[in-house]
Structure 1
Amino acid sequence: MGLGYKSAFNWITLWSSLLFALILGFSRLSYGLFLPGIQTEIGGSYGQLGMLGTVNFIGYLVGTLCLPPLISRLQHRKNVINRISCLLLGLGMIGSAFSDHFIQLGLWRFMIGFFSALATVLVLSIATDVVQPAERGMASGLIWLGGSVGILVTGLFAPYIIEPAHLEGWRYAWMSMGVFGILAALGFELVTRKEIFGRSISTQLESNLQEQVNVYRLLFSPNKFLFLLGSYFFFGWGYIIYFTFLIPYLVNNGIPSKYAGLIWSGIGFAGLFNGWIGGRAIDRWPSGYTLALGLALGTIGVLGVTTNHILLTSLGAVMIGLVSFITPPLMTTALLRRYAPHSVYTVCLSVATAFFAAGQIIGPIVGGWVVERYGLKFGVTSSSIFMALSAMFACLYGRKQRVLENFKKNI
């Protein structure tokens, strides 16, 4: 790298974090918060609205699958692809605010999912490239922290979004988020343009067939990353059910929108510490067991809904925000960055993100079906099943890591 490594705290990390407020907090998770307002104005059952969430993640999956061949065809253009993706993502948020029916909103949600997938992988890849290897977990934590900021901000404005008196509040919110995202993309472009990357993108993404075979052998080997991918898949399945149907559950139970918004903001506020804690933890203990601990505590947090007590539900939400909202993505990113060969890291992260996206596609479908059949409470609680499965796979990955480490020591 031409200019040497930077610490985790730098301008690129800061602008990356602001972009992740758009990529994660605004474009993806705000949908669950705005669901009551969208339903009031556009109509539809929770099953139908859940399908719109699924359309978003289908776009996300398509984006992750398109990224490796896209980069390989446009060598040395990773920054350009990211710039276009972020700008179109912001414009997609603005465009979705003008939706009047399901098909129109569904098309915008697909577009938003597609470009947020490209931006997720590229922003992380570009930003962590310049960070010292020992601090890349912390840098990932700071970047993913932006998603928590996005949730915190949207939660604070919830009374102006989901109250029946503010029928079009979700429209104004999405327009504002889109404008913010475009400004963040411009800031990220300015600070990254000053950096000179010595390693070419063609080295990172060889189109050689043999290397591609090795990449997938690496990812799908039980002794390498298979269980980590499984954990990421079930996390995507579980967390998206919780975030899609938590606010509708609270509103349906008569919780005032102000308090529902505060609970949502509580998740985001706790997530601010999650990025710090998770990043430090994975740098110090780069293991699947570290990941599994956060997922297990998050599973317990989801179960707070079963108590029918607002305080315990709120504490459970804060626990999820503190240890298992940002933690799995940032730890998966950091583990791949640490153990995957640098030349194929972007491909590995893209495939892992595709597994995450696949879980998020299934989640709203399953969650919507459960809600329609058994009610919102059981629907939200069902996310704990998949969070627990995610924790189990993370433990299996940690066990494989330990076995390999002991084997190397005995050689």
Structure 2
Amino acid sequence: MGKKSAYSWTTLWASLLFVVILGFSRLSYGLFLPGIQREIGGSYGQLGVLGTVNFIGYLVGTLCLSPLISKFPEHKSIINRWSCLLLGLAMIGSSCSQHVVQLGLWRFAIGLFSAFATVLVLSIAMDAVRAMERGAASGLIWLGGSAGILVTGLFAPLTIDPSRLMGWRYAWALMGVFGVIAAFGFELVTLNKRSSSKIRSPSISHHGNENVYSFLLHPKKLLFLIGSYFFFGWGYIIYFTYLIPYLVSKGVPSLYAGLIWSAIGFAGLFNGWIGGRAIDRWPSGYTLAIGLALGTLGVIGVTTNSLFITAVGAILVGLVSFITPPLMTTALLRRQVSDHIYAKCLSLATGFFASGQIIGPIVGGTGVEHFGLQFGVASSAIFMAIAAVLAGLYGKLQKKRSEFDPS
């Protein structure tokens, strides 16, 4: 069976799964935080730690997935099937949490299953797409996360309004049900592909027998790209965890806060398409660095104390540096490694990304406790800027390599 276009049922269902994997399971937490605090208690610092617990689960998942794929390479689709299904069920379970510890356990499980699903859904979907369209396909898949942000923003009056204490529970339960449906849909569209993939021999490249860690962390290979991914994870999760609590603390009505959140997701829909096209046409670290630099400027908008500038900055973050870094890193990595080690390399790269997301809420929560929510949100700009610099260094390295090897 031949490779598919970027615009296929496989890509569509993968994108719907990313609505759940990214928009619902991961980033909805920041939007629901005010409602969660009102009902089950805890300070923003303590509840921020639950974000860290989620990403500890995410890191554990990425570290476990690599050896699991190596041991059972033919069972990749089975692992993905159960990961996606259990992710949806765990979200339903989290909606029933009665105290912080219980919610923390569910957040850990959600992080674990979403790590498996992130890597495997991308790997399975990208394997089905023609090589020259993988950037566009990656963009379409990752924009599912933006759609998830847009939808969760529409829940804001239900989840933020003090008169609706149970709103966040109903929203999470509905999101979990959607996740189960998306898992079944992706399973159905990928069934036909498996028979052909089993008889196709894996391609071998000069990286085949090389230690994957040394390949990813070598200064002349992928170190700067992986470093950029790490610091992006550190920076963006601070912004998405504390932006809504900051707006609520400033007295912004729940409807307006939700609209700002939805605007990030709406802008990200364009970012996914534009970013995928851009990385196909200009597959360079420089392309990634531009998006991260503009996103840094967007984050700084929160320091102006102007709701309008903060909202414009949030839209800029959504437009150029919410979906762009993951999809571009995914596409750039895909160009550098052979098919049979791509899932393993992506898993390890995602592990570094998850490590940044673990550190982010801790650092952000500390900043919030000592200096307030505004400082906590604004601190994410520091790490986004570091990510932009590292992406630029990777682009410079790519340029040097092309000069020595024009082919």
TM-score of the aligned structures, taking structure 1 as reference length:
0.96
**What number of residue pairs does the alignment pair up?**
405
For 1:290, the equivalent position in structure 2 comes to 287
Q: Which residue of the other structure, out of 180, 183, 186, is the alignment partner of 2:184? A: 186
For 1:119, the equivalent position in structure 2 comes to 117
3-state SS, counterpart of residue 274 of structure 2: helix
Q: Report % sequence identity.
A: 70
For 2:296, the equivalent position in structure 1 comes to 299
1:217 is the counterpart of 2:196: no
Where in structure 1 do 4 or more consecutive aligned residues deviate above 3 Å? 196-206, 210-213
Q: Which residue of the other structure, out of 169, 172, 195, is the alignment partner of 2:170? A: 172
Q: Which residue of the other structure, out of 56, 59, 68, is the alignment partner of 1:70? A: 68
The residue correspondences of 1:361-380 to structure 2 (distance < 5 A) are 361-380=358-377
For 1:54, the equivalent position in structure 2 comes to 52
Q: Give the counterpart letter for 1:165 in structure 2.
A: S
For 1:400, the equivalent position in structure 2 comes to 397
For 2:342, the equivalent position in structure 1 comes to 345
Q: Is the 8 A contact 2:234 2:383 kept in 1?
A: yes
Distance in 2 of aligned mates of 1:39 and 1:223: 46
1:227-247 C-alpha deviation (Å, 9 max, x unpaired): 000000000000000000000
Residue 200 (structure 1) shift: 4.7
1:233 is the counterpart of 2:230: yes
Distance in 2 of aligned mates of 1:266 and 1:291: 22
Residue 74 (structure 1) shift: 2.2
Distance in 1 of aligned mates of 2:210 and 2:244: 44
Distance in 2 of aligned mates of 1:196 and 1:121: 17
Distance in 1 of aligned mates of 2:293 and 2:405: 29
Q: Which stretch has the larger CA shift, 6-15 or 338-347?
A: 338-347
TM-score of the aligned structures, taking structure 2 as reference length:
0.97
Distance in 2 of aligned mates of 1:252 and 1:212: 54
Distance in 1 of aligned mates of 2:13 and 2:240: 25
Residues 205 and 180 of structure 1: is their aligned pair in 2 closer, same or farther, counting only changes over 3 Å? farther
1:155 is the counterpart of 2:153: yes
Q: What CA RMSD, in Å, does the superposition of the two structures yield over aligned residues?
A: 1.6
Residues 370 and 204 of structure 1: is their aligned pair in 2 closer, same or farther, counting only changes over 3 Å? farther
1:33 is the counterpart of 2:27: no
For 1:330, the equivalent position in structure 2 comes to 327
Show structure 2 runs of 5+ residues with no match.
none
Q: Which stretch has the larger CA shift, 74-83 or 54-63?
A: 74-83
Distance in 2 of aligned mates of 1:199 and 1:19: 22
1:10-66 C-alpha deviation (Å, 9 max, x unpaired): 000000000000000000000000000000001111110110000000000000000
For 2:101, the equivalent position in structure 1 comes to 103
Distance in 2 of aligned mates of 1:349 and 1:203: 20
For 1:261, the equivalent position in structure 2 comes to 258
For 2:315, the equivalent position in structure 1 comes to 318
Q: Which stretch has the larger CA shift, 328-337 or 215-224?
A: 215-224
Residue 73 (structure 1) shift: 2.4
3-state SS, counterpart of residue 194 of structure 1: helix
Q: Is the 8 A contact 1:227 1:396 kept in 2?
A: yes
Residue 211 (structure 1) shift: 5.3
Q: Give the counterpart letter for 1:272 in structure 2.
A: L
Residue 201 (structure 1) shift: 10
Distance in 2 of aligned mates of 1:143 and 1:20: 7
Q: Is the 8 A contact 1:203 1:343 kept in 2?
A: no
Residue 71 (structure 1) shift: 1.7
Distance in 2 of aligned mates of 1:127 and 1:61: 22
1:275 is the counterpart of 2:267: no
Residue 72 (structure 1) shift: 2.3
Q: Is the 8 A contact 1:23 1:116 kept in 2?
A: yes
Q: Is the 8 A contact 1:240 1:364 kept in 2?
A: yes
3-state SS, counterpart of residue 380 of structure 1: helix
1:141 is the counterpart of 2:139: yes
1:243-288 C-alpha deviation (Å, 9 max, x unpaired): 0000000000000000000000000000000000000000000000
1:108-135 C-alpha deviation (Å, 9 max, x unpaired): 0000000000000000000011111111
